[in-house]
Amino acid sequence: MQNIYIKIYKKTFFLFIRLLRIFTKKFDKKISLLLSKTKWSSGYFPETLEVTTTVGCAMMCDYCPQEAYKKNGKEYPKVLSFDTFKDAMKNVDNKVKIHWTGFSEPLHCKDFTLMADYLNERGFKQHISTTMFGRDHCREYMCETKVFEQMVYHLPDNNNRMHLKVTDKYLDYLEKSITFQSQIISKKKFTVMVIGNDFQKQVRKLVDRLLNKKIILESQIYIRKLLVSRAGSVQVDNIEGFDQQISFSKKNLIKIIKNYSIVGMVD
C-alpha cells in the first residue's frame, strides 16, 4: 500500500516538474541541474546516458544550438573513437539506457556500428535518434541491425530548417531502414518525426507510401511544430514558422507532456 502512495507522489511530482519546465523558461536550467544530481526517478525518467559521437553536426538545423556546442566542444576530439568509448563505458552499468543523440548524428561516426554492437553484447538497451544522413556503412547497418530498442527518425522539413540534401540515395537508405526497423521495434517505440510544418516534399512522398503500405502507422508520425529552447540556448521566438513555446493547443500540450524529457530534445 505504501508503494502505491510513493508511486502516486512521484508521478505527481514529475508531472509538476514537466509543467513547470513548459510554462517557465526561467527555471529550466536550475531544474535540469537539480534532476541531474539525483538518482531519484519516476518511471518516465529511467536512468539514461546520452552519447555524443561527434562535436558538431553537419545538418546545422536552425533550431539547434550547434555554434555554441562546437565552441564549447573545442577541447574534445572531433569524433569519438571506439577505444575511448569502451574506456568510458567500463563505468556504466547496463541498466542505464543509452541514447545515441546528444547534438550529433551518430551515423557520422566511423566506429558507431562497433560501439552499438559492443553495447548490445553487454545487454544495454539502446535508443537512437537519426536523420539517416551519414557514412554508408552506418546507413547499411541501420537497414539490418536488431540492436535498438527504440528509434526516432528525425527527417528534413519542408522549409529547409534542417540543411540536409535529399537525394535518391538518401531516400533509398531511408526507405530500407524504416521498412526493416519497423518490423523489429515495437510500434510505441518507433517514431518518424519532423520538426516543422511538414516533411520535405520527397520525404513526404516516401512517408505516404510507407503509410499506404501499412509499414508505418499514422500514430507513429510526429509533426512537431513546437520548439524547446534547449535550456535557453535557442531563441525559439526568432525562428519563423513555429508556434511559440508557451502558446499551444490542448492537443499539443498532451504531446509535449508525452515527449518532454530531462534532456529536453530528441537529438
The residues that touch ligand SF4, with contacts defined as CB under 6 A, are: 57, 59-61, 64, 66, 103-105, 131, 154, 162, 267
Q: What is the largest CA-CA distance in the chain?
A: 58
Q: What is the dihedral of CA 230, 234, 239, 243, to 10 degrees?
A: 30
Three cell numbers, residue 242: 513555429
- Closer of 72 and 94 to ligand SF4 (Cβ): 72
- Closer of 57 and 206 to ligand SF4 (Cβ): 57
- Closer of 129 and 182 to ligand SF4 (Cβ): 129
The least CB distance from residue 156 to ligand SF4, in Å, is: 9
- Closer of 155 and 216 to ligand SF4 (Cβ): 155
Strand order in the sheet with 126-130: 48-51, 97-100, 126-130, 150-155, 190-195, 221-224
The least CB distance from residue 177 to ligand SF4, in Å, is: 16
The least CB distance from residue 192 to ligand SF4, in Å, is: 14
Q: What is the dihedral of CA 83, 264, 129, 135, to 10 degrees?
A: -60
Residue type, 120: N
Instruction: Output the DSSP codes for 5-71.
Output: HHHHHHHHHHHHHHHHHHH-STTHHHHHHHHHT-----TTS--EEEE--BSS-TT--TTS-HHHHHH
The least CB distance from residue 68 to ligand SF4, in Å, is: 11
Please check whether residue 164 is in contact with residue 131, taking contact to mean a CB–CB distance below 8 angstroms.
yes
Please check whether residue 190 is in contact with residue 181, taking contact to mean a CB–CB distance below 8 angstroms.
yes
User: Which residue in the block uniquely carries the three cell numbers 530528441?
Assistant: 266
Dist. CA 7–CA 23, nearest whole Å? 24
- Closer of 104 and 145 to ligand SF4 (Cβ): 104
The least CB distance from residue 56 to ligand SF4, in Å, is: 9
- Closer of 14 and 66 to ligand SF4 (Cβ): 66
Number of helices (H), then strands (E), belonging to the chain: the values are 9, 6
The least CB distance from residue 69 to ligand SF4, in Å, is: 8
User: Which residue in the block uniquely carries the three cell numbers 518511471?
Assistant: 43
- Closer of 17 and 164 to ligand SF4 (Cβ): 164
The least CB distance from residue 84 to ligand SF4, in Å, is: 20
Dist. CA 53–CA 147, nearest whole Å? 17
- Closer of 17 and 128 to ligand SF4 (Cβ): 128
Three cell numbers, residue 66: 550547434
The least CB distance from residue 102 to ligand SF4, in Å, is: 8
